[in-house]
Amino acid sequence: MSAKGNDNSSRPLATVAPDLQTRSSVNVREFQRLRACGEALRLRKRDLLNSDTEHNQAYTADLALYNDALAKATAERDALAAAGK
């Protein structure tokens, strides 16, 4: 006997898009996280010596990741503002 009607393994899973309120709260939390990261980066930069090339390179890489995350969060915030109109 086959349980043909109960086999859902070949069907793709449905993805549910989060509503605007959920996306907005996630975006607010992301900006809070980025604010803390930005402050930590600022303090790190303040304490770096120009001659410490290894740590300066690590800082530059972390700053690039921060800027990418900030750009994504800003784009999401702008998309949410446009969708809320």
Q: Is residue 11 part of a domain?
A: no
The answer to whether residue 59 sits within a structural domain is: yes
Residue 7 in any domain: the answer is: no
Residue 8 placed within a domain: no
Q: Which domain holds residue 29?
A: 19-83
How many residues are present in the chain? 85
On whether residue 27 sits in a domain, the answer given is yes
Answer whether residue 10 is part of any domain.
no
Q: Is residue 74 part of a domain?
A: yes
Q: What is the number of domains present in the chain?
A: 1
**pLDDT for 43-69, tens place per residue?**
999 999 999 999 999 999 999 999 999
Angle at 21 (CA atoms; ends 18, 22), nearest 5 degrees: 45
Is residue 51 situated within a structural domain? yes
Q: State the pLDDT at residue 61.
A: 98
> Are the beta carbons of 80 and 20 closer than 8 angstroms?
yes
Is residue 3's pLDDT more than 80?
no
Can you tell me the mean pLDDT for 67-82?
97
Residue with tokens 């995350």: 69
Model confidence at 6, pLDDT cuts 50, 70, 90, reads low
pLDDT value, residue 15: 65
Half-sphere exposure of 35 (CA within 13 A, CB side): 6
- Give this prediction's pTM: 0.76
Across all residues in the chain, what is the average pLDDT?
88
DSSP state of 76: H
Of 38, 31, 81, 46, residue with least CA distance to 62: 38
